[in-house]
Each structure stands twice: as C-alpha cells, then as structure tokens.
A = this chain, B = another copy of it.
C-alpha cells in the first residue's frame, strides 16, 4: 500500500492555501466580475453598477475570548469586520446577514447583548440586517458575517490597480488594536485565580476601544467620493500592514517602499508597547485587526490627500523586482513578510 501524502496546512501557509483551493475554479456566470482574490466578490448589476459581497467568520477562542470580550462590543466588531471588506473596495455597505452558531452555555440575554451591538453598528453605518441563520454549536460561539454593498463599476477599487510611483496611504493609526489585545491578555493572566478581579485599564481606553469596538472607516470612503479622489488600489488592514501591503503588491505585480518613521502609531500604542516590552512597529506591521484602509493614489494627488486629513502617506510603489520593504531612518531596507493565520 502506498503512503498517502499528507501536507500540513502550516507548511503551506494561509495565503498559499487559499490560492491552491481557489485555483481550480473559473467563473462561468457573466455576472461574476471578480471572484476570489480580493476583499469582496464583485457581481454585475447592470451596465454601470455592481454589487459587492464578502463573507467572514469569527470563532470563539481564535478571534475573540469571551472572558473579557463584552458581547455588545463583539456584535459591533462583527459588523465592522464584515463591512470593512466592502469599504475596502471603495464601496458603501448596505446590508449584512448574520449566521450564528451558539452553544447552550450562552443564555438568551447574552445573544440580546450581541444583537444590541450589531444594531448599534448597523444604525451608525446605515446598514440593514437582512437575515441569516442561527444554529446550535457544540464548540462555542461562531459568528458568520455576509456583507453586501453597491458601487458604480468605475469607482470599485481592486487590490490589483497600483501603478509604479503611486503613493501608499493609510488611514488612522496602526498597532493600537494589537496593543489592546495584549493588555487584555495580560490582565486575564494576572487576575486568573483572583475572586472579583479588578483589571487595570485606566488610561488605556483608547487601545481597548480599537480592539474591542473598532469603527469601520465609512467616513474615508465618503470623503474620497466627495473629493472625487479615486484610489488605484485598496484593501483594509485586517492581517497587519505587512501582509495587506503584500497582497496589493502581489495583485498589482509591483514592489513597495514604506518608511518606518511615517507609519502612524498612536501615543497610547507607544506607551503600552514600552510597558509590555513590545515593539510598536511590529504591532503596526503584523498586529492586524486595525480595520483601517490601505490604498494607493497617483503621485499627482498628494495635495488632495493632505486636504482630506487623517490620512498618512507612508511610501510609494516600486518595480516588482524590488519587492516590498520597510526603510528604517538610517536608510536600511527590511524585507516585509506576510503573516497568515497560525496553527
């Protein structure tokens, strides 16, 4: 008997796995404008408009820990995670569907809280809860989010449109969500066996909010539209700046140079990093879950980007041969590495 081959998922890595699984499919429906390989699928509506659909799942124990994650915030964050994929196509979200797996350990009141958070986010974003599914799960809480949006075809921004010399832009700041997570994990460890634990969160509200209740950057997509400013490529920061920038480089067949001192990192992130003996740049590059937008624009739009405010230009697109690299203040180049999920 021949030994059947066994390849561990960790050998291949998340991104190669997704490529491998999707490689045997080729779209047949004329309405499928973009299948796998971007933040959302793009489906033709008519000559001028398209629909965007994305699917994500959040797993208890992997994506959230209910010992410190309030269910109201979790509901809110689930909506952010879903609609960020639509915003990342430069489109506005309109509907979400929630597919829940619930274990018997959660009372109905916990699900009320979860849905209260979902409702708050939906109201803020003008998004409708349009359905879904609830089933039993033996293995903890699972939240599936389908997000649906709409945009004129010529406004949809793919990962694949970055051009040589384009500017690389980032909204908000990076690494704060990662630091919020580490703070929560530290308090959980420290207070593990203590009755009525009193975690020390004063002064860190900003980091906790960035991790527990991140806001989807609908405002940015609206500002870009108001300024008639069309990015060439776009994605959201879900896996970390390094991974997400490399996705743009791969899809656009280009390289990138980003400058360490230009990466926006909040004061609170720096302070927490020092306290935890952590590197804030590593948090910004690999931390993920910031749900900020990463996009490229032609060089000529530099001043217009500055006018919008809250957007930092952190580098530029290069020839593909040069790869994706971080430039330190002393001029040395550090090659970027993608971080997929860990097994």
Contact = CB atoms under 8 A, between A and B. Distances in A.
Contacts of A14: 134-135
A140 interface: yes
Contacts of A115: 21, 24
Contact of A8 (B27, B55, B104): B104
Nearest to A92: B29
A111 B21 contact: yes
Interface string A25-43: 1011101101111101101
B102 A41 contact: no
A94 interface: yes
Contacts of A132: 36, 55
Contact of A128 (B32, B59, B112, B126): B32
A165 to B, nearest CB: 30
Interface stretch (A143-151, A290-298, A319-327): A143-151
B55 A126 contact: no
Contact of A9 (B10, B32, B104, B116): B104
Contacts of A150: 31
A37 B132 CA distance: 9
A309 B53 CA distance: 37
Nearest to A138: B61
Nearest to A238: B133
Count identical subunits in the complex. Answer: 2
Contacts of A4: 109
A6 interface: yes
Contacts of A17: 108, 111, 134
Interface string A50-87: 01011111011111000000000000000000000000
B97 A32 contact: no
A6 B109 contact: yes
Contacts of A32: 94-95, 128, 130
Contacts of A25: 119, 122, 128-129
Nearest to A11: B108
A128 B61 contact: no
A212 B193 CA distance: 46
Contacts of A128: 25, 27-29, 32, 35
30 contacts: A4-B109, A5-B109, A6-B109, A7-B108, A9-B108, A17-B111, A25-B122, A27-B128, A29-B127, A32-B130, A34-B130, A35-B128, A35-B131, A36-B131, A41-B97, A43-B94, A53-B53, A55-B99, A55-B133, A56-B133, A57-B57, A57-B135, A57-B142, A59-B101, A59-B137, A61-B138, A62-B135, A63-B135, A134-B341, A139-B140
Given A14-B134, A41-B130, A62-B136, 12 more contacts: A21-B134, A25-B128, A31-B95, A32-B94, A36-B132, A37-B131, A46-B46, A53-B130, A55-B131, A55-B146, A59-B137, A146-B146
